[in-house]
């Protein structure tokens, strides 16, 4: 989260405040708190893994991407994370929606002055 470039103001200030709360220090604080208290009082920890991070781990540890995903998931669960989500499908939906928007804009290019260009990107953070 500290890698956010604030490139497109994609978050409102309220969302930004919530994202700011999700940092490494808070993550480890909750992990330690969960270890000390009764399981009925645990705070649920969920981690999402973006598709871009898995090839990095795979290359770094000389693993296949699938093996890297399994090991990373296992490691996070061994720390006490309750849920680990792969956001590949969300990235796929994002690409499909960008594609759909581009086709619509391209078809309107002669009727609408500002239909093109269209700028799109995935968050580098």
- Asked whether residue 46 is domain-assigned, the answer is yes
Tokens 């500002």 belong to: 114
Find the mean pLDDT for residues 12-22. 60
Residue 66: partners with Cβ closer than 8 Å, 6 or more residues away: none
pLDDT bracket for residue 124 (50, 70, 90): very low
Give the structural domain span for 50.
Answer: 24-87
Number of domains, the chain: 1
Q: Tell me how far apart the terminal alpha carbons of the chain are, to the nearest angstrom.
A: 7
Q: What is the largest CA-CA distance in the chain?
A: 64
Instruction: Flag whether 56 is in a domain.
Output: yes
98 part of a folded domain: no
Indicate whether 41 belongs to any domain.
yes
112 inside domain: no
71 falls within a domain: yes
- Does residue 3 lie in a domain region? no
d(CA 53, CA 30): 23
pLDDT digits (tens, 9 = 90+) for 47-106: 888 887 888 889 999 999 999 999 999 999 999 999 999 888 888 888 899 899 999 999
Evaluate whether residue 119 is within a structural domain.
Answer: no
């Amino acid at each position: 989260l500290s890698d956010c470039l604030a490139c497109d103001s994609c978050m409102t200030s309220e969302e930004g405040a919530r994202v700011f709360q999700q940092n490494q220090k808070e993550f480890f604080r909750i992990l330690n708190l969960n270890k000390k208290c009764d399981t009925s009082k645990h705070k649920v920890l969920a981690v999402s893994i973006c598709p871009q991070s898995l090839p990095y781990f795979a290359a770094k540890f000389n693993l296949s991407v699938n093996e890297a995903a399994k090991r990373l998931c296992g490691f996070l669960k061994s720390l006490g994370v309750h849920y680990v989500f792969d956001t590949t499908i969300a990235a796929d939906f994002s690409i499909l929606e960008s594609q759909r928007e581009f086709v619509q804009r391209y078809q309107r290019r002669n009727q609408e002055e500002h239909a093109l260009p269209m700028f799109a990107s995935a968050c580098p953070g």
